[in-house]
Amino acid sequence: MKVQEVIRRVAEGETEAFETIVQQYQQKIYMFCYFMLGHRQEAEDAAQEVFFKAYRSLSNYNHESEDMFLAWLYRIASNYCNTLLKRKKKGQLLLLLFRSIRDEQSAEQAYAEQEDHRLDWLQGMTAEEKEILALRVIEDKPFDEISVILDISSATVRKRFQRIRLKLKNNKEQWEGTIYEQRFESQ
């Protein structure tokens, strides 16, 4: 079913028609959120929130193309994930002020820390860099489409992607060196 048809049906009061959109785009939005946030549960919650925000703002959507609809969803996801990342960073800073580092971790904190190591090679990357990387590598979007989603020129996207590749190469070398050193220290 076409996105415009679903939007029309939802506008006419058939709210369950939105489920078609959720089913069609849920996996892509979840993967984008997971890549941005690095935690499975946070990504699930974020994807759910993205679709809720999209539903509430559906009357503001005015494009005909299905690709543009996906770009619109990515934009919502990007904004939401960036907001979460900013809040998380502020929260971590506050925790450092009010809590000693020697406090014991809860099981949830230990699990979250363990899950963080899966994406260690993304350390030091900005949210904007993660967005470009997710859209280009995971979603296999062309530079032109990424430029529409992020509202920057295609040439800027290409240049930033080149810088990201170099940064990842350096991060990977550092990460592999750290893993190598940790193996010998633990023996």
Looking at residue 7, its pLDDT comes to 86
Arithmetic mean of pLDDT, 37-42: 91
Q: Which amino acid is at 112?
A: A
Please indicate whether residue 97 or residue 3 has the higher confidence score (pLDDT): 3
Structural tokens at position 23: 């089913």
Distance of CA 69 to the CA centre of its chain: 17
Looking at residue 20, its pLDDT comes to 92
Domain ranges (residues) in the chain: 3-185
How far apart (Å, rounded) are the C-alpha atoms in residues 138 and 156?
19
Burial category of 85 from C-beta neighbours within 10 Å (exposed 0-12, middle 13-18, buried 19 and up): middle
Write out pLDDT tens, residues 100-135: 444 555 655 555 555 545 556 666 788 888 889 888
Say what percent of the chain tops pLDDT 90.
Answer: 34
Looking at residue 127, its pLDDT comes to 83
Question: Is residue 151's pLDDT more than 70?
Answer: yes
Fold of 3-185: Rna Polymerase Sigma Factor; Chain: A (1.10.1740)
